[in-house]
Amino acid sequence: MKKIFPPTLHLIVTFLWLLLATYLIFFYAPQEATMGEVQRIFYVHVASAWTAMIAYLLIFLGSVGYLWKRRDSADDFAHGAAEVGFVFCTCVLVTGPLWAKPVWGIWWTWDARLTLTFVLWLLFVAYLMLRSYVINPGRSAVLAAVVGIMGFVDVPIDYMAIRWWRTQHPQPVIAGGEGSGLDPRMWVALLVTWGAFLCLFAYLMRQYLRLAALGREVADLRRLRRSSQEA
């Protein structure tokens, strides 16, 4: 992977993709009729939300993989997805209220979708706190994997919330059945933005995995040094 697609090239591709997404959001996608300019928050809000959900899916897969095979690589994968996913989920919770205030007149309401997304953010926080507070690495990995698997229940409910309950959050415009839909140019802008966010997510994951590999190397050398000092 490192030889075929080196990190520097990955960073350049991510940057260019984000530039293209920015261009499409501001100059290609049409202005929404009722909300006006502020609706352009939609592209980054939805793309961040989808990426955060995919991140939790990766935590789930990494956690199952770790409990099954007990491989450190699966644990690193889940931990990395939690850290980067937390960043994307924070972006959802930041852009949401900034869009809600001018459109709904309120920053926040405890409706099903908003509450479940907040719960998802708390799950990311819980996972990361568990990783830092439990000192024993093996124990920390097992407990985090359990949280990763159990917490995944929130993701499909969060996704379906606007389909099951009619509350403050708008009904789905994507895969929402009859009467829903987007202007084709809005679709293009949204998909390109999501692609750029996935590319950024993959880049940050690679950086995290490198960090985890370095951490293991340092821990091994420290252990070796301690044992040689004791002997």
Partner 1 sequence: MCNVYMVFAYGLLWGIFTFYAWVIHGRQRRLEKELEELKRAAAQH
Q: Pattern 49-88, binding to partner 1, x per CB under 8 A?
A: -----------------------------------x--x-
CA–CA distance, 134 with 125 (Å, rounded to integer): 14
Radius of gyration of the chain (CA): 20
Place of tokens 């309950």: 165
The SS3 of residue 41 is helix
Place of tokens 């793309």: 47
CB of 73 to partner 1, least distance (A): 18
Q: Taking contact as CB under 8 A, which single stretch among the options 32-40, 145-153, 169-177, 178-186 is the one that binds partner 1?
A: 32-40
Under DSSP, the state recorded for 2 is T
CA–CA distance, 126 with 164 (Å, rounded to integer): 27
Sole binder of partner 1 in the list 129, 153, 218, 226 (CB under 8 A): 218
Are the CB atoms for 91 and 84 separated by under 8 Å? Answer: no
Sole binder of partner 1 in the list 98, 122, 153, 174 (CB under 8 A): 98
CB of 43 to partner 1, least distance (A): 10
Structure tokens given for 65: 């993989």
For residue 221, state whether it binds partner 1 (rule: CB under 8 A): yes
Which residues sit at the interface with partner 1, rule CB under 8 A? Answer: 26, 36-38, 40-41, 44-45, 48, 84, 87, 90-91, 94-95, 98-99, 101-102, 200, 204, 207-208, 210-211, 214-215, 217-218, 221-222, 224-225, 228
